[in-house]
Amino acid sequence: MSSLHSVDPTLNQEIMNSIVARYPRKRSAIMPLLHYVQSVAGYVTNSGIENIAEILEIATAEVSAVATFYTQYKRNPIGEYHVGVCTNTLCAVMGGDAIFSALKEHLGIENDGVTADGKVSLEHIECNAACDYAPVVMANWEFYDNQTVESAKALVDGARAGNPPAPTRGPNRLVTYKQASAVLAGLDDGLAGEGVQAGSPTLLGLKIAREAEKGGK
């Protein structure tokens, strides 16, 4: 039985220890442990940081430094469905700026805001690493490609109603932010490999290369 002093009773210590056990150096488990805290609380809590620090035998400041450096870690409560709109150059000119402005007005919140019902939070994202599908919106880190103002509104309306549309690529249903965080912590949800994994734009270069290879024979 653990003799930790800074145990958060909402966190499963066996799960946390199993995450630590994956790594040859304990401190390497900081990031998945932070995701695990988010999977329970919905954001990174102070008690979660203290619990992680004690398990890893490092200072709380070291855990906090990671939690505040990476934008995937949230230090305040966010929505059950966290929506990120890419506003980098390509997505912006393809409609990302218009989508972000429309969603702010539609939801009545600003960047990093949360709807009053706690269902949806909104964030502008620098890049979703999916430029070939611009403009791209992400919800709980799942892709919604080639979006329009209307399709983005339908996404957040569905999320608020508890019936969000399925991602363009990835699993056949959109999980909650807590469930997505559990996956990022390394806890299997059984949805890996479900749905479309790579679309035509992503595979186009491979197709051209293979056709060229055949033509050269």
User: 115 with 58, same domain?
Assistant: no
* pLDDT of res. 2: 43
Residue 146 lies in a domain: yes
User: 56 with 130, same domain?
Assistant: no
pLDDT > 80? residue 198: no
Residue 57 lies in a domain: yes
Cβ–Cβ < 8 Å for 43, 76: yes
pLDDT > 80? residue 133: yes
User: 92 with 168, same domain?
Assistant: yes
pLDDT > 80? residue 217: no
User: 94 with 169, same domain?
Assistant: yes
Query: pTM for the full model?
Result: 0.88
Looking up residue 58, the CATH number of its domain turns out to be 1.10.10
pLDDT > 80? residue 106: yes
Residue 8 lies in a domain: no
Q: Which pair of structure tokens corresponds to residue 134?
A: 């611009």
* pLDDT of res. 1: 37
Residue 122 lies in a domain: yes
Print burial letters for 97-136: b (CB count within 10 Å at least 16), e (below 16). Answer: bebbebbbeebebeeebbbeeebbbbbbbeebebbebbbb
What total number of domains does the chain contain? 2
Q: Which residues pair with 120 in a beta bridge?
A: 81
Residue 201 lies in a domain: no
User: 61 with 110, same domain?
Assistant: no
Residue 124 lies in a domain: yes
Confidence of residue 112 (pLDDT cuts 50, 70, 90): very high
User: 169 with 115, same domain?
Assistant: yes
The domain containing residue 25 runs over which residues? 13-69
Residue 7 lies in a domain: no
User: 97 with 63, same domain?
Assistant: no
Residue 180 lies in a domain: no
User: 53 with 106, same domain?
Assistant: no
- Positive or negative: CA dihedral 88, 94, 100, 101: positive
User: 19 with 60, same domain?
Assistant: yes
CA distances 192 to 59, 117, 169, 205, 215, Å, are 35, 30, 12, 24, 35
User: 44 with 88, same domain?
Assistant: no
d(CA 139, CA 24) in angstroms, rounded, equals 33
- Across the range 125-134, mean pLDDT stands at 90
Looking up residue 110, the CATH number of its domain turns out to be 3.40.30.10
| pLDDT tens column, 25-59 | 999 999 999 999 999 999 999 999 999 999 999 99
User: 118 with 162, same domain?
Assistant: yes
Average pLDDT, the chain: 93
- Across the range 13-31, mean pLDDT stands at 97
Q: Is cis: bond before 24, omega within 30 of 0?
A: no
User: 152 with 126, same domain?
Assistant: yes
